[in-house]
Structure 1
Amino acid sequence: MKILQALFFPPEQPGGVSSMIPHLLERFQSSNWSMELFSLPKRIRGKGQDSVEFETFNWEKYESSPVVQKYIQTYRDYIWWTKLRIQQPYDLIHAHHPIAALAMKRMFPDTPLIVTIHSSYEQELILNEHIKPGSIDHKFLTSIYRELEAKADKIMTVSESFKAYLAPYVQQPEQIEVLSNGFDEKRFKPIAHDNEVPQLITVCRLVPAKGIDVLLHACAELKRRGYPFVLHIIGDGPIREQLEEMAVELEIYDETIFYGYMLHPEEFMPFSDIFVLPSRAEAFGSVFAEAALCWLALVGTNVGGISEQIEDGVNGLLVPPNDVGALTNAMERVITDSFFRYELARSAWSKAKQAYSLSRVVHELKQIYLAYRK
């Protein structure tokens, strides 16, 4: 069976699609399976010229929005690149972004299409203060979900909470299937260590939605309470300079290291003690599962897929989003109680190995794919 995994941009950033899809290929290469990746290079801009029509709504009533214009042009560019690069048919296409899914269905209308929705573009734009709830941009982006429902043979997503988020925007939400991300266990190698000074680490894109500003304020309060620590921030993004300035103003710059983008953060994480990410929204939160597989204690917010991964007090700690005091108290608890920290990390590792293994995901995907075999 010949399958195309259609991504949006190349899988370069840690987390989400990049954590799973490229690692599927080796598991599917056999006499019975053939799998390839396809994505739109970031250098492709403004190439596509095709007309755009959707089956379930008229996008042109939203075209005054620059966000909508950019979305439509990227859709055209994806079609242009697909025409240029794909010359052979596939038995099944599994898309991992709405643009990829809609473009592939337009190009290959007779090929079965599965789409996994990994996150909400409109939620990220709202949290990052680029669009407002209820705006024409928001209405356009949420209308895309109904279009996907009309075009795809199956819609999947990565958590029950995100399935609930999608429900108001489709006609048959009960048909959406949940399959959480899976991770190649061989990539993660916990390392026994004893850090005299607690090492905190976070891995994310530096955007407001990730709540790193909250983390910096909580770390400043930890310092005021007299606790030594080092905070490692792996990732880059548009607010990096702002966050660095904040660390200076909060007088924790000497305790904070900004690394920028790192291709394989899982090689660095095992030397730390506590993974903390106070996201304001997460469809799944792949980096929590990755940190768990590195045997770290987890501290996260009670939002989206994070709360499905972490059982508070059992395999990590959950705090409300935007709550500096609660985050500070949670970090203080795991810093000061080494036995509790170890038990959290052990339980997190055990759950991640069982629930989020790539082997489990591969097994389930094979059953799904075989349903479309001719």
Structure 2
Amino acid sequence: MLLPDLPQPSDKLLVSNSIDTKFTHTYQPSNMKCPILIATILRPSGSTGVQSHVQSVQRWLQQSGRRSLIVTPFQSPKWQFYPALGIRRVLDLLSPTAGVWWYRRGHGFFLGCALTRLLRDGAPCIIYAQCPVSAAAAMAARKSPLQVIVTVVHFNESHAVEWSNKGAIALNGSLFKAIQKMESQVLPKVDGLIFVSEFMRQLIQVSVTPCRQIPSRVIPNFTNDQTQLRLNLPRSGLITIGTLEPRKNHRYALEIVFQTKLLGQPLSLTVVGHGPDRAELENLVATWDIQSQVHFTGFVANAASLMSSHQAYLHVAKMESFGIVLIEAMSHGLPVFAAPVGGISEVFCNGVEGLHIPLNDARAAAVAILRWINDAEQMRSAGAAARRTFLEKYEATKVGTKLVEFLDEIAAR
């Protein structure tokens, strides 16, 4: 297998739009561990939790001197791939369901093409697939049993549920069922599974029972500790980061802010992200007359850097397999206010690093948050606990080592 020179540790991740021109050295199994290919149908960087995970893993691999490469459909020749993107945009206008079908098929196909070029000599490697579509592409591309596939389960319940929640496909419609069937067929065929939470491990092993026989490990998301805490930095208000879409439930976050106004203790909220719900959310802000409390930033690269100027992190998503943004907040020493849905209850302890809040009573949530915000000692203690828990459980050095050890364990079987 041909791989690029090992980069020096830096913040620049090794991503190429032209795979072949980057591959200049042959992998030598006699003197190094096999390389790791991070396969994803998404762009290498962006605003999603999956993209944050990919960046964190690649950064850790580079810093630890492990030969690796991010592989995406976007590394295909532009004259081939970008017309497919254009077709998807047209289909989205005509039929969102057809657009989703084309997106999955097209991105999976071009990822498979990229992987085929890399795997054609059958040399040993680990393909770290970020979703079932990526795993299926890897299965079609690999040429040897020495090319092992380990899939991480990032999705919330199922990709079918995620697309349905976006309103792109019908709940229990034909494509919904086809996606679920594809997941149930692909996941039991990989060589190893990583779950980002115990919640997702139990959910998948119940819904896709053959997965119980696949070697697996619960390994949480992680990120580098790039925080330089300034204890005297003025902090005010809440911050929330995420795509403005129904699952993230930003309307409810605004309801909480509105309730703090009615309670006579108005809190400010910085909303970071972009998405289809923005216009509706801005209308709500105007209707409730909370323009002075809410600030929409749109998409911000390295959005976590904004956290250090806020008092606490607010997260009201209806479902999360983990919630990587929570550990980013904890790394900055922010208490977390979040609903205990999905894997979130595993990320922090209620009453220690933050507070579990209800998703069905904005006033009760506002009262609970204000009680904490107004208790300086409580906030100081929770912030310190959040920072400590991050360093102990989610910092890259500790978790990255566990991840790579598991990948190597699967490769050695």
The normalised TM-score by structure 1 is 0.87
1:199 counterpart residue number: 237
1:101 counterpart residue number: 135
2:218 counterpart residue number: 178
- The alpha carbon displacement at 1:140 in A equals 1.6
Q: Is the 8 A contact 1:284 1:304 kept in 2?
A: yes
2:302 counterpart residue number: 264
- The alpha carbon displacement at 1:243 in A equals 0.9
Q: How does 1:80-119 map to 2 (within 5 A)?
A: 80-83=113-116, 89-110=123-144, 111-119=147-155
- The alpha carbon displacement at 1:342 in A equals 1.5
Pair 15,342 (structure 1): closer, same or farther in 2 beyond 3 Å: farther
Higher relative contact order (CA 8 A, sep 6+): 1
Q: Is the 8 A contact 2:315 2:339 kept in 1?
A: yes
CA-to-partner distance for each residue in 1:207-252, whole Å, 9 max, x for gaps? 1101110010110110111113321111111111111111111111
Note the residue ranges of structure 2 that are not aligned, 5 or more in a row: 1-33, 86-95
User: What percent identity do the matched residue pairs reach?
Assistant: 22
Q: How does 1:146-295 map to 2 (within 5 A)?
A: 146-174=184-212, 175=214, 176-185=216-225, 187-193=226-232, 195=234, 198-295=236-333
CA-to-partner distance for each residue in 1:246-268, whole Å, 9 max, x for gaps? 11111111211111111112221
Distance 1:321 1:202 in 2: 15
Pair 345,14 (structure 1): closer, same or farther in 2 beyond 3 Å: farther
Distance 2:347 2:179 in 1: 27
Q: Give the letter aligned to residue 124 of structure 1.
A: E
Pair 229,325 (structure 1): closer, same or farther in 2 beyond 3 Å: closer
- The alpha carbon displacement at 1:107 in A equals 0.8
CA-to-partner distance for each residue in 1:272-317, whole Å, 9 max, x for gaps? 1010010100010000000000111110011012111121111111
CA-to-partner distance for each residue in 1:130-181, whole Å, 9 max, x for gaps? 3344322322222222222343111212001112222333223434421111
Q: Is the 8 A contact 2:39 2:130 kept in 1?
A: yes
Give the alignment partner of residue 337 of structure 1, picking from 362, 375, 378.
Answer: 375
Pair 139,31 (structure 1): closer, same or farther in 2 beyond 3 Å: closer
Note the residue ranges of structure 1 that are not aligned, 5 or more in a row: 49-63
Distance 2:295 2:62 in 1: 40
- Equivalent residue of 1:268, what SS? helix
Give the alignment partner of residue 125 of structure 1, picking from 159, 163, 169.
Answer: 163
1:28 equivalent in alignment to 2:61? yes
1:77 equivalent in alignment to 2:117? no
Pair 7,29 (structure 1): closer, same or farther in 2 beyond 3 Å: same
- The alpha carbon displacement at 1:19 in A equals 2.7
- The alpha carbon displacement at 1:94 in A equals 0.8
Pair 82,201 (structure 1): closer, same or farther in 2 beyond 3 Å: same
Distance 2:64 2:379 in 1: 46
2:13 counterpart residue number: none
1:138 counterpart residue number: 176
2:12 counterpart residue number: none
